[in-house]
A and B are shown apart, each in its own frame.
Chain A
Amino acid sequence: MLARRVIPCLDVANGRVVKGTKFLNLTDEGDPAELAERYAHEGADEIVFLDITAAHERRGTMLEVVRRTASRAFVPLTVGGGVRSVDEMRDVLRAGADKVSFNTAAVATPELLTACAERFGSQAVVCAVDARRLPREDGAQQRWEVVTHGGRRATDLYAVEWAVRAAELGAGELLVTSMDRDGTHSGFDTELLSAIATRVRVPVIASGGAAGPADFVTAVLDGKADAVLAASIFHRRMHSIAEVKAAMAAAGLPVRSIEEAVA
């Protein structure tokens, strides 16, 4: 049975892991390759690197960080941030990544998802959807808007509709981040997650708001997420991957046991 994944996310700026709150107030959390290797040994099912400086400072991707990590940690690696073309995606894959996540570039040029999926297969193409709640009108459905450029720019896209379209265009996975919850430790936006997960067939990764193991369970049971991502609770050792997986297993969710990672 397919295990529900637990994914530590490393936000990387200038080659260092950083973490902020609602995408701001960044603090240094360590070396990306070292942290990634540590997480792989602790049972991480996958590692996500997001180059959060790339979109606005035009840094390109962290090929060297990816290369160093892929040489040491034999778990899947997803890289996002600043990839804008099929050729740039090829370079990231060749550095050792398994998937590339697109956000700003996909919003600007949706056909990029299709071109990359045709070239590398949809399983290698992740669309990151950064979503922010819109004021709810009386009696109307809750809606979310898509934000880009690390949360600095609003778009005229609705998150659920954009997620559905991204999957149709070729994204093989959706990384759904609630900007309202990001770094706040107030739990995942399960309403947003399930609104998307119930409308697509591709896996949905929940992101933004993890406070503790119980939130991972809720993201899967209520949010219908296939995988759950978190950053600061792991970096700051507030909770271990083992604790999270134990809580998921206790709730009856299939997980890859930690023992298999360190056999």
Chain B
Amino acid sequence: MKRAVRVAVLDYGAANMVSITKALAAVGAEVRVAAGPTALAGVDAIVIPGVGAAAPAMVHLRERGLAEPIIEWAKAGRPCLGICLGLQLFFEASDEADAQALGLLGGRAVGLADAPTLPHIGWNTVDAVRPHPLFDGVPDGSHFYFVHSFAPAPSDESIVVARTTHGRPFVSAVAKGSLYGLQFHPEKSSEAGLRVLANFVGLVATAEAA
């Protein structure tokens, strides 16, 4: 594909928009901030960033008319990356304040069990469960930055790409078709994180060219 990959980063109130938009731009994407559904026209991929709590995030997504378009987008098999809370919202619900989520993937976000410290904040190793192009060029066991108290518990084990251990192992990366989810923050994970975002943009370019 000749032109740059166009990525819409959903703005629903609380996420760190500067870091994710600058990081995607740093790996060559043409980035647009989407605070409503009309901004999704003409983009190749959607990124749902995330810092914050699940229940208010869903309220803000619905208020901005973004919840249904995301569901339609993902059901059409178009590329979508969820980061941290964005990933947790892919599932049916979150134990955090018992919030309902988007229901794109089976399962729910659950609190980290037996965690020595909560929230889980800091750089932890991401261990591959299976090879995936999102992690091309990233040595297995590299450190990524986490800030969260909940993590996905998918009902379908085959979507799990990587796990991380804090107390007990939890799911830190998932992929199903063109739906990708990262529990860590690639936009805050220095070179390793930029590599994962570059791989995502590359996957989008490949999908568009196909």
- Chain A residues with a Cβ under 8 A of chain B: 1-5, 40, 45, 67, 70-72, 74-77, 90, 93-99, 118-124, 172-173, 201-203, 226-227, 256-257, 260-263
Q: List residues 12-56 of chain B with CB under 8 A from any CB of chain A.
A: 13-19, 22-23, 26, 51-53, 56
Count of residues in B whose CB is under 8 Å from the partner chain? 42
Evaluate contact between A122 and B149: CB separation under 8 angstroms: yes
Which residues of A are found within 8 Å of B147, using beta-carbon distances? 76, 98-99, 123-124
A74 to B193 Cα, complex, angstroms = 8
Distance (whole angstroms) from the CB of B98 to the closest CB of chain A: 14
Kindly state whether residue B189 has any CB partner on chain A within 8 Å.
Answer: yes
Evaluate contact between A124 and B145: CB separation under 8 angstroms: no
| Prevailing SS type, chain A contact patch | loop
Distance (whole angstroms) from the CB of A216 to the closest CB of chain B: 15
Evaluate contact between B16 and A2: CB separation under 8 angstroms: no
Kindly state whether residue B118 has any CB partner on chain A within 8 Å.
Answer: yes
Which residues of B are found within 8 Å of A226, using beta-carbon distances? 117, 121-122
Distance (whole angstroms) from the CB of A91 to the closest CB of chain B: 12
A67 to B187 Cα, complex, angstroms = 14
Evaluate contact between A70 and B165: CB separation under 8 angstroms: no
Evaluate contact between B14 and A76: CB separation under 8 angstroms: no
Evaluate contact between B52 and A119: CB separation under 8 angstroms: yes
Nearest first, the 4 closest Cβ-Cβ pairs linking A and B are A96-B18, A123-B119, A256-B143, A70-B18
Further 4 A-B residue pairs, CB within 8 A, beyond A5-B123, A260-B143: A75-B189, A93-B16, A203-B121, A263-B195
B18, B187, B190: the one within 8 Å of A94 (CB): B18
A-B contact count, CB below 8 Å?
129
Which residues of B are found within 8 Å of A2, using beta-carbon distances? 117, 120, 122-124, 166
Distance (whole angstroms) from the CB of B201 to the closest CB of chain A: 15
Residue of A nearest to B57 (CB): A121
Residue of B nearest to A69 (CB): B18
Evaluate contact between B191 and A1: CB separation under 8 angstroms: no
A257 to B142 Cα, complex, angstroms = 9
Q: Mark B181-199, 1 if CB is under 8 A from A, else 0.
A: 0000101111111110000
Kindly state whether residue B125 has any CB partner on chain A within 8 Å.
Answer: yes
Evaluate contact between A260 and B125: CB separation under 8 angstroms: no
Evaluate contact between B191 and A260: CB separation under 8 angstroms: yes
Which residues of B are found within 8 Å of A202, using beta-carbon distances? 117-119
Kindly state whether residue B64 has any CB partner on chain A within 8 Å.
Answer: no
Evaluate contact between B148 and A123: CB separation under 8 angstroms: yes
A75 to B187 Cα, complex, angstroms = 8
Residue of A nearest to B18 (CB): A96
Which residues of B are found within 8 Å of A261, using beta-carbon distances? 190-191
Which residues of B are found within 8 Å of A173, using beta-carbon distances? 119, 121
Residue of A nearest to B97 (CB): A118
Q: A202-B119, A203-B121 are in contact. Are A121 and B53 (CB under 8 A)?
A: yes
Evaluate contact between A98 and B124: CB separation under 8 angstroms: no
Which residues of A are found within 8 Å of B148, using beta-carbon distances? 123
A200 to B95 Cα, complex, angstroms = 22
Residue of B nearest to A97 (CB): B16
Q: A120-B14, A123-B149, A261-B190 are in contact. Are A96 and B19 (CB under 8 A)?
A: yes
Evaluate contact between A172 and B119: CB separation under 8 angstroms: yes
Evaluate contact between A3 and B143: CB separation under 8 angstroms: yes
Distance (whole angstroms) from the CB of A20 to the closest CB of chain B: 28
Residue of B nearest to A124 (CB): B51
A11 to B149 Cα, complex, angstroms = 29
Which residues of B are found within 8 Å of A119, using beta-carbon distances? 14, 52-53, 56
Residue of A nearest to B53 (CB): A121
Evaluate contact between A70 and B16: CB separation under 8 angstroms: yes
